[in-house]
Amino acid sequence: MTDNVRVRFAPSPTGPLHMGGVRTALFNYLFAKKHNGTFVLRIEDTDQTRYVANAEQYIIDSLEWCNIPFDEGPGKNEKFGPYRQSERKELYKKYAEELLEKGQAYYAFDTPEELQQLRDALEKEGKTFIYNWHNREQLNNSLSLSKEAVAAKLAAGEKYVVRFKTPQGERLEMNDEIRGTITIDTNTLDDKVLFKSDGMPTYHLANIVDDHLMEISHVIRGEEWLPSLPLHVLLYRAFEWEAPKFAHLPLILKPVGKGKLSKRDGDKLGFPVFPLAYTNENSGEVSRGYREDGYFADAFVNMLALLGWNPGTEQELFTLNELISAFDLNRVSKSGAKFSPDKTKWFNQQYLQNAAVKDLSEGYETILKERGIAESADYIQKVVSLVKERATFITDFWDLSDFFFQAPTEFDAKAAKKQWKETTPELMNGLIEVLEGIDDWTANVTEPIVKAWITEREVGFGKVMQPLRLSLVGALKGPHLFDIMEMIGKEATIQRIKHAIATL
């Protein structure tokens, strides 16, 4: 399709990147890669009051963790740079001036206090104040003032803003790649501020100028920007620039299916909403992250891809490359996408089941080291292959397999009460004798011998196997008992049974 696809992810560095932001970045990335295009990262930091110093690095680290790196952006391939709007500051003024000259924008000198008064007065009548065609000629601006008066104010250094002169009485038709044609009456729009006398552009002006200068072909962003679309379309027209194509992604909804998933929901509802854990610079407050909670990046990305997009088939598991080839803006839905923490866990579980035992073991080895446990890679791999089918996260491994690395120090009281009977010590002593006589300690040798002995004694399997499990594991959990015995070895097996007899 379109040649030379260039898309951008344009976050404002006001805090950690919400998973909705990661989804926006992902869809931009997928679209770019699908069309052999370029994925640009632009940092929209014009609002200095909301600027957070560590946020930009957080954004970059998040994209990297998700394996969706940008092609152009701060510090990388800067042919359309700089990519931080604060470093492009000088550039915007001339574009504000261009619109002023064209009569598409005007100076407004109304003070914040004056505007507040107007707002308050209308509010009393139950109305809202809009600065636009219906009152602009009565307000304090270059449309109502004489040329000389305006020049005098500017010369005196009076504070001003530049407002867009929204065309009056027009049915504006816009196209969205996901939503189709959208029509709006321009009389309902307000004359948005584009530029301020402190030399700073607002989001709208900077965003349009940069998308133009960076030759962005498709603007793919969240639905919350849809209300800005008319202004953006009108700005392109005012500048006589070709507008990019627009696509507004559906909201991500809370697990209940209503209301936008917010940054606060994670803490409230008990799941991460951020890709990486984040420490607030001022309060020291730490928010959880998918990475630190033990999710695989590719499982997280796979889950995000299906929030608002579907492949048109039943397929749910996709590698990044499969996502790139399947992705299509036509299959992005208009309605909000419900986020499910359970489904997210399911994705992780699927990825864990499909992961190579060797890779999982490397992750587990780190956890074991933190606990001061050193075992051979070979041993850890065997453990992982025995317990992984019950795990959703690598961090589950310890609870599933601690007994492979240390003898139980405690016994599950409930299980002990139920399974450890008066006759059990005698049975266990008998079992020890049998075990002592076995030389080849592999499961397929020990299993038939022990089973034959149980059959011979006519006591029932549970009477032996459950106390045996309790002795070796400390609880009634874990994989096949004879595999456990093989792994921990003959000596440890017998010792653990003796310890159970002495303790229980």
Interface residues with ligand GLU (CB under 6 A) are: 10-12, 44, 207, 221, 225
**Please, what is the minimum distance in Å from the beta carbon of residue 44 to ligand GLU?**
4
For residue 43, the cross-strand partners are: 84
**Please, what is the minimum distance in Å from the beta carbon of residue 222 to ligand GLU?**
7
User: Which phi and psi (to 5°) does residue 326 adopt?
Assistant: -85, -20
> Would you give the DSSP letter of residue 251?
P
* 224 or 389: CB nearest ligand GLU: 224
User: Which phi and psi (to 5°) does residue 156 adopt?
Assistant: -80, 0
* 84 or 382: CB nearest ligand GLU: 84
**Please, what is the minimum distance in Å from the beta carbon of residue 104 to ligand GLU?**
20
Q: Are 243 and 236 in contact (CB under 8 A)?
A: yes
Geometric angle at alpha carbon 377, from 372 and 383, rounded to 5°: 85
**Please, what is the minimum distance in Å from the beta carbon of residue 212 to ligand GLU?**
13
451 an active-site residue? no
The active-site residue out of 76, 196, 263, 345 is 263
**Please, what is the minimum distance in Å from the beta carbon of residue 91 to ligand GLU?**
17
Residue type, 72: E
* 44 or 223: CB nearest ligand GLU: 44
- Please state whether beta strands 193-196 and 161-164 pair in parallel, antiparallel, or not at all (unpaired): antiparallel
How many CA atoms lie less than 13 Å away from 223 in the CB half-sphere? 17
Q: Are 103 and 142 in contact (CB under 8 A)?
A: no
d(CA 330, CA 176): 11
d(CA 235, CA 229): 10
* 196 or 499: CB nearest ligand GLU: 196
> Which two tokens mark 202?
């607002």
Sign, CA dihedral 381-386-387-388, equals positive
* 81 or 430: CB nearest ligand GLU: 81
- Please state whether beta strands 105-108 and 180-185 pair in parallel, antiparallel, or not at all (unpaired): unpaired
Residues belonging to the active site? 263
